[in-house]
A = this chain, B = another copy of it.
Amino acid sequence: MALIVQKYGGTSVGNIERIKNVARRVARTYNEGNQVVVVLSAMSGETNRLVGLCNEASEFPIGREYDVVISTGEQVTIGLLSIVLKEMGHKAKSFMGHQVPVVTDSQFGSARIESIDPKRMRDELDRGVIVVVAGFQGIDPEGNITTLGRGGSDTTAVALAAALKADLCEIYTDVDGVYTTDPNICHEARKLKKVSYDEMLEMASLGAKVLQTRSVEFAKKYEVPVMVRSSFNDAEGTLVCKEDREMEKVVVSGITYNKNEAKISVLRVPDRPGIAAKLFRPLTESGMNIDMIVQNISHDAHTDLTFTVSKEDFKRALKLVQETAGQIEARDVIGDPNIAKVSIVGAGMRSHAGVASRMFEVMSKEGINIQMISTSEIKISIVIDVKYTELAVRVLHEAFGLGKGEIMEEAQA
């Protein structure tokens, strides 16, 4: 008998028919002799509706009361699924964050889980009850309702699996796994059987919107095996797990891209200590995330500095940088929103040299100019003109042999 945590996202519980579908899947897992804990999101669209009400009520609604309002969506779905499971003859019981309890800090709107007491859930599981838990929500030490931020239900599921020492955490979503790249722009894309936590982290934060980044960090920390799969079919999903020998042999696991960034270059900056700090402080203080930063060696005690921000922050960032540029006597500031970041990710890169140069050769052969380069242990990102995005993804996918291999047929599923 295994203990399995299953998480279903908003599309999977979008109406009663779909909730009944989820119930059948849960019941099947239970009938196969497993203990089952189910974590649910709100019906798709519901959290947006609630956030809309809060924004109508106040310009800055975030705080204790905001979380009171937006945590109701998950409460509705756990109640409804439990009703359906009971109708089917099962023992089922819903738990809100405060009933588990899932204890978080008091950072309303983006709280972090501090501890989970598995005792009540264990008692119910031992009695044959299917435990249905509201994702996304918790309670702080003072008894206030908190929420974990967008996509927080993934984190709830992984955290519950860790607390319960579950055998597996299944994340049901509207895609049936993690692909070598976006199947919409590359028909050769195939589903990965396995991917390591580190690779998944790079892929999640680079734009493959399958799992919330924090949930993968959590899974890595507590070594929770996570299976990503679809609630609409029975295709085998992708297992996110600890790196193993098999994975090391694969040099590149996937190609990701992100068209949601813009580039800002500050030209002929005097190369003095503290200049970069001066340039970036106003941006970070305004809550912007700076992604890639590139600075070349200096000439005549001057250098060029280039970085990327998200497209929605672009205009605001450009204005702030132009103000600072005057103070630090830079010659000019140039902004370019028409860029894309393309990355190759793979645990095998650690032990394989030449991946970067292969990437650059491929780009060069296609006449694609590389504007920026940034690397980590298991990924290489380049910034290129946005119009070459799809072409770059396809040729890299081919160049690193991602379309071939024994599990290729799964992409047809």
Which of A's residues lie within 8 Å of B, judged by CB? 16, 19-20, 50, 53-54, 56-61, 63-69, 71-72, 75-76, 78-80, 82-84, 86-87, 92-94, 96, 98-99, 143, 145
**Mind listing 29 A-B residue pairs with CB under 8 Å?**
A16-B53, A19-B57, A50-B76, A53-B80, A54-B83, A57-B80, A57-B84, A58-B84, A60-B87, A61-B83, A63-B86, A64-B82, A64-B93, A64-B94, A65-B78, A65-B79, A65-B80, A65-B83, A66-B83, A67-B79, A68-B75, A69-B76, A69-B80, A69-B83, A72-B75, A72-B76, A75-B75, A96-B145, A99-B143
Q: How far is the CA of A59 from the CA of B68 in the complex (A)?
A: 30
Q: Is the CB of A75 within 8 A of B86?
A: no
Which of A69, A79, A143 counts the most B-chain CB atoms under 10 A from its CB? A79
A98 nearest in chain B by CB position: B98
- Further 4 A-B residue pairs, CB within 8 A, beyond A57-B83, A68-B78: A54-B80, A54-B83, A57-B80, A64-B93
Complex contact A66–B79 (CB within 8 A): yes
Report chain B residues within 8 Å CB of A58: 83-84, 86-87
Q: Count copies of this chain in the complex.
A: 2
Q: Determine whether the beta carbon of A65 is less than 8 Å from that of B50.
A: no
Bound Cα distance A57, B94 (Å) = 15
- Give the residues in chain B near A99, CB-CB below 8 Å: 143
> B65, A82: Cβ atoms under 8 Å?
yes
A71 to B99, CA, bound (A): 15
Most buried by B among A61, A67, A71: A61
Q: Flag if A69 contacts B65 (CB, 8 Å).
A: no
- Give the chain B neighbours of A75 by CB distance below 8 A: 68-69, 71-72, 75
Contacts of A76 in B (CB 8 A): 50, 53, 69, 72
Partner of A68, one of B60, B66, B79, B86: B79
**A86 contact from B19, B65, B84, B93, Cβ within 8 A:** B65
Q: What's the Cα separation between A236 and B145 when bound, in Å?
A: 38
Q: Is the CB of B94 within 8 A of A65?
A: yes
> Quick one: closest B residue to A23, CB to CB?
B57
Which of A59, A68, A72, A143 counts the most chain B CB atoms within 10 A?
A68
* Minimum distance in angstroms from A116 CB to a CB of chain B: 17
Contact yes or no, A16 B57, CB < 8 A: yes
Question: A108 → chain B, closest Cβ, in Å?
Answer: 11
> How distant is the Cα of A56 from the Cα of B80 in the complex, in angstroms?
9
The 8 A-B residue pairs with the shortest CB-CB distance, nearest first, are A69-B79, A68-B79, A72-B72, A65-B82, A58-B87, A16-B56, A65-B79, A57-B83
- Measured CB to CB, the closest approach of chain B to A283, in angstroms, equals 28
A58 to B80, CA, bound (A): 9
A144 to chain B, nearest CB (A): 9
A92: which B residues are within 8 A, CB to CB?
65
Inter-chain contacts of A83 with B (CB < 8 A):
54, 57-58, 61, 63, 65-66, 69
What is the CB-to-nearest-CB distance from A74 to chain B, in angstroms, rounded to a whole number? 9
